[in-house]
Amino acid sequence: MSTLLARQPQITTGDDVAAALHVAIIMDGNGRWAQKRGLPRTMGHYYGAEAARKVVRAAGELGVTHLTLFGFSSENWRRPKPEIDYLMSLLRGYLRKDVASLHENRVRLKVIGDRAGLPADIATLIGEAEALTAANDGLNLTIALNYGGRADIVAGVRQLAQEVAAGRLDPAMIDEASVGAALPSAALPDPDLLIRTSGEQRVSNFLLWQLAYTEMLFVERYWPDFSGEDLKAALAEFSHRDRRFGGAVSR
């Protein structure tokens, strides 16, 4: 694990990015960004949403095929109610105003997490956005909302247990592939690169099953300051990693 290097190698076109590259991002530091500027935490979330728009655009331009953003965790409900209400209003605005633009740019939007725990109107907007963009063949954008990696695994295990109890599955046949396929997030490929902003160095219950061999990059910059150029630099750093997946050193 390393921090983002001071050097800024340039990636000029999407051709420089490996095929089927999946980048996952923990968008951290909105509140601290605002507090350092004497602003309410909600303003940090506002500018964090603006940063997300820029990074989604840059990901598509760089040839990233899958981008997964940790938007709201199952633990975030512990935050003060006014802050949660503001986050939900930002989410409503995104789903109402940005989906048309995503669709025009052939972005396919998916949401993972327990949407039953979200406000009913937001769950409806999510379903409509997914249906509208389902056939798009550009960037696969996944947003994790009311999501927790442990809950994801528990749901998958529960599904397998039900299959065993019904006599449709032999417990001896359960392997990594069957567990992965049972997860609610099963359609999501394993990330190649995880980026977390704000300098924190932990995964915070995000994609726990999928991160087994993911390269990780911890960036000091707060999320509202993260830009398309920062994503380019992260991809350049990733291009120098030697991914062995538990095997021998390749060079």
Q: Is 77 annotated as a binding residue?
A: yes
Q: Is 242 a catalytic residue?
A: no
Cα–Cα distance for residue pair 15/11, rounded to 1 Å: 9
Q: Is 73 annotated as a binding residue?
A: yes
Judge whether 53 and 224 are in contact, CB under 8 Å: no
Closest CA to 22 of 233, 193, 145, 167: 193
Residue type, 48: G
Q: Quickly tell me which residue has 């990233």 as its tokens.
A: 64
Q: Is 202 annotated as a binding residue?
A: yes
Give the pair of three-digit tokens for residue 226: 């993260």
Q: Is 57 annotated as a binding residue?
A: no
Catalytic member of 15, 16, 28, 192: 28
Catalytic member of 15, 16, 76, 230: 76
Q: Is 74 annotated as a binding residue?
A: yes
Q: Are strands 22-26 and 215-218 parallel, antiparallel or unpaired?
A: unpaired
Write the DSSP symbol of residue 246. T
Q: Is 101 annotated as a binding residue?
A: no
Please list, in sequence order, all residues whose beta carbon lies within 8 angstroms of the beta carbon of residue 160, skipping any fewer than 6 positions away.
169, 174, 178, 179, 182
Q: Is 243 annotated as a binding residue?
A: no
Q: Is 205 a catalytic residue?
A: no
Q: Is 29 annotated as a binding residue?
A: yes
Q: Is 41 annotated as a binding residue?
A: yes
As annotated, the binding site for substrate includes: 29-33, 41, 45, 73-75, 77, 79, 196, 202-204
Which of the residues are catalytic?
28, 76
As annotated, the binding site for Mg(2+) includes: 28, 215
As annotated, the binding site includes: 28-33, 41, 45, 73-75, 77, 79, 196, 202-204, 215
